[in-house]
Structure 1
Amino acid sequence: MINEEAELIVNAWLAGAASAFGKENPAGPLFDGAVFAGAVGDTLVTTENLRDSLVTTENVRDAFVTTENVRDSFVTTENLRDSFVTTENVRDAFVTTENLRDSFVTTENVRDAFVTTENLRDSLVTTENVRDAFVTTENLRDSLVTTENVRDAFVTTENLRDSLVTTENVRDAFVTTENLRDSFVTTENLRDSFVTTENVRDAFVTTENLRDSLVTTENLRDSFVTTENLRDSFVTTENVRDAFVTTENLRDSLVTTENLRDSFVTTENLRDSLVTTENLRDAFVTTENLRETVAA
């Protein structure tokens, strides 16, 4: 009876793979180019040292998939279930991971890359060490998503439900988080960034440690929103209903809170700031600890 792992190794060699399970093909690779792995079950799949390649791994179940040292490549991992997927050391690459369920996905050390992670359910997704990249995470349900160490990047997280999302250590970035429901979202340590959080329902949103940033939080309902530690920032919170909104520790900032209904709003510790709160109905508003401030 042939050992299952040995059979997989031989099949990989016959398919032209340079190596399989750490064992080099004695005949060498049959070609350099596209690599396809289909219908993978209970398997360890490693694709490494890619340059100018097209790599597709699909129909993965109970598998461990690693793609590393990727340059100028197109990498797709799709239809994952109960899998662990890592894509690391990515440069000038297009990476897509889609149709995830009960999976752990990490994309790290990303530079000048386009990364999309979509259709997530009960998954843990981490994208870290991002520079000059376009990152999209969409269609999340019951997921934990972290995007960290972002520089000169465009990051979008959309269509969230029952999710925990963290975007941290952001510099010179454009960050959008939209269509939230029953979610916990934190965006922290921002510098020279544009941040938008929109279409929020029953969510907890925190944006903290801002410098020279433009921050917009809009279309809130039954939400808890905190924006804190601002310097030289422009902050807008609009279309608020049944929400708790706190903006604190402001310096040289422009803050607008508008279209409030049945809300609790606190703006505190202001210095050299312009603050506007307008269109209030059944709301509780506190503005305290002002210095050289214009409040309208």
Structure 2
Amino acid sequence: MLPEPRLARWLQRVEACLESALPAADQSPQALHQAMRHAVLAGGKRLRPMLAYATGEALGAEESLLDAPATAVELVHAFSLVHDDLPAMDDDALRRGRPTVHVAFDEATAILAGDALQTLAFSVLAESPAAATLRVAWLQTLAEATGTRGMCGGQALDMAATGAQLALAELERLHALKTGALIRAAVRMGALAGDADAETLARLDDYASALGLAFQIRDDILDVEGDSAQLGKTAGKDQSQAKSTYPALLGMARSKALLVELSDKTKAALGPLGERAGVLHRLAEFAVARVS
């Protein structure tokens, strides 16, 4: 992640919150709890929590109020990775440079760990000290981003498209659900904590939508140009599984040009926030230029 003091502070906060939210490894059932911790505490970019903190800060929310949405969105992200790696999905053996959960434990434990991480995320929001109206808004935002109108729906579309090349509009919709929905939720939950008005919410949604698509296109590019050691996951999986990707559809040069266009869109969307959006700008730059 970027060398920005606030990001370093937020990273420490969310790591402590995740550690606190997760059951202890020696608490029964031990294997399940160890698998959950294996999935969550293996590092990672923590982009979604950083977006929640950065958005909330830009709108004047207290950091302590942002701990719950930052923690919850990362727990849902971790759940999605555990299930995405399963043999029935992408069948991957490596995640964040370590064996995936179903490899380190077993498939049944991995399924249960993902399920438990998802329910834990909603418990974190429900039990936060925020006002009831805000908690309900957070819960609704995260639930929609996780379900069939979000991440799970996108995963279903991705699996259905394996072996075929989608049209550009279809590919964009797939990734707006699979990758973009949770990124938009992270930004929106931070904005809700800052009591954003309708116009600001709409602008931030435009920012998050462009960032989410840029993040996915960069992922597609790295799957071609990166290596497993650098990525912390198996490189070349998209091609080996005949997945629809932006480089396969548009070519590498056009995919990289599209990244620049999306970066410009994030900047335009944040324009009215001025200097308050400095960290949000840097997070978008990171998503476009990252190497893992």
TM range (shorter): under 0.3
**How does the TM-score come out when normalised to structure 2?**
0.20
Point out the structure with the larger strand share.
1
Greater share of residues in helix: 2
Structure with greater Cα Rg:
1
TM-score, with normalisation over the residues of structure 1? 0.20
Name the structure, 1 or 2, with higher relative contact order (CA <8 Å, separation 6+): 2
